[in-house]
Amino acid sequence: MTTSSKPLAGLKVIELGSLIAGPFAARIMAEFGAEVIKIESPDGGDPLRKWRKLYQGTSLWWYVQSRNKKSVTVNLKHPAGREIAHQLVAEADIVVENFRPGVLEKLGLGWETLSAINPGLVMLRLSGFGQSGPLAQQPGFGAIGESMGGLRYVTGFPDRPPVKTGISIGDSIAALWGVIGTLMALRHKEQNGGQGQVVDVALYEAVFAIMESLLPEFDVFGFVRERSGNIMPGITPSNTHSTQDGKHVTIGANGDAIFKRLMHTIGRDDLANDPQLADNAGRDTRRDEIYKAIDDWVAAHDESEVLRVLAGAEVPASRIYSAADMVSDPQYLARQMIETASLPDGRPFKIPGIVPKLSETPGGTEWLGPALGEHTDETLQRLGYSASAITALRAAGSV
């Protein structure tokens, strides 16, 4: 698959973001063929370059988060740097940014300025609280969005404080909504006269939007969903159980027919045939009894035996995968979810495959996250800057 045959080929994206939400949104676009020019400060660039585990000074996360992107260093505080940004925006389809609201406006790069330069521009703006409202000017990271959006409140066990997931999921959820909104805006532009618009994604709203029936249940019944550990409240059985050999298996048997198969499989024909347990409402009222039966059976077997038996009974179940499980798993490998790439020194390493899978125009990895400013000269030359002009810009600290 060549870049030109990917579904977003021909789109030009300017990324002004850093760290997670904005860069993840632009990464998805780059994986599916868009030309993404990431503008970074000459003074170190995106902080993600130094986050988490470093290999020879560069974050392994960086190589994945910025694959297929071009890195151009521009000092947006310099007039000459802003002029470069304006020129890039003039020929772009999309700008992605995740600064605190007001920052770009102070730099002369706000929506009013950029849309005047390029009326067809679609600008994806990701921020903690959105571009309006009393909290708009406040800083807000993914953790704040997860907390305000309701996810943290329902995560964990009822006898302990709220916990977070092991990743910055609020940022990633916001990025996904951002890509969806951007593609919607491009569709509108194509169908309705070529006018661009702002796609405004607040991290807390992105999380709130996935919170299922949390709000209407509160409004109609006064019910506040609380932390419930590993069970799915109101949907039974769906839980994680400990095996004889100290492993953990998640079992989802909340379908009526699946529940019967599970109960027969674990030797509880009495529960399988109990008319009170024929539907979810009946099962949920007796969930403690049901979970004890499953717990007892799982605890008497090793993980491999539990998974083998349940697979034979067509009961959805899974081990709790670590990275070590993923890299050798037949399903991961069959669907090309474990790719092998090379670090700058030639060392091979594994990176995640591309999601989603498109049958005719799939995405792909063309190159890994670039060195800081790797594409500055070629980009400026394309804009018409001479070699001497680029040297002068660099000497002035503008690029």
Question: Active-site residues: which are they?
Answer: 171
Which residue carries 């916001």 as its tokens? Answer: 174
Residue among 85, 75, 74 at smallest CA distance from 118: 85
CA–CA separation, 136 and 82 (whole Å): 24
Which residue carries 């997670």 as its tokens? Answer: 20
- First vs last C-alpha separation in the chain: 34
Collapsed DSSP state (helix, strand, coil) of residue 222? coil
Q: What 8-state DSSP symbol labels residue 154?
A: G
Sign of the C-alpha dihedral computed for residues 71, 75, 80 and 86 taken in this order: positive
Residues in the chain: 399
Collapsed DSSP state (helix, strand, coil) of residue 398? coil
Number of H helices, E strands in the chain: 18, 13
Q: Which tokens belong to 326?
A: 């993923």
Could you tell me whether strands 69-73 and 197-202 are parallel, antiparallel, or unpaired per DSSP bridges?
Answer: unpaired
CA–CA separation, 291 and 286 (whole Å): 9
Residue among 379, 40, 75, 338 at smallest CA distance from 48: 40
Return the C-alpha torsion angle 21, 23, 25, 29, nearest 10. 180
Q: What 8-state DSSP symbol labels residue 54?
A: E
CA–CA separation, 366 and 184 (whole Å): 26
Cβ atoms 37, 88 nearer than 8 A: yes
CA–CA separation, 321 and 249 (whole Å): 9
CA–CA separation, 26 and 175 (whole Å): 8
CA–CA separation, 202 and 219 (whole Å): 23
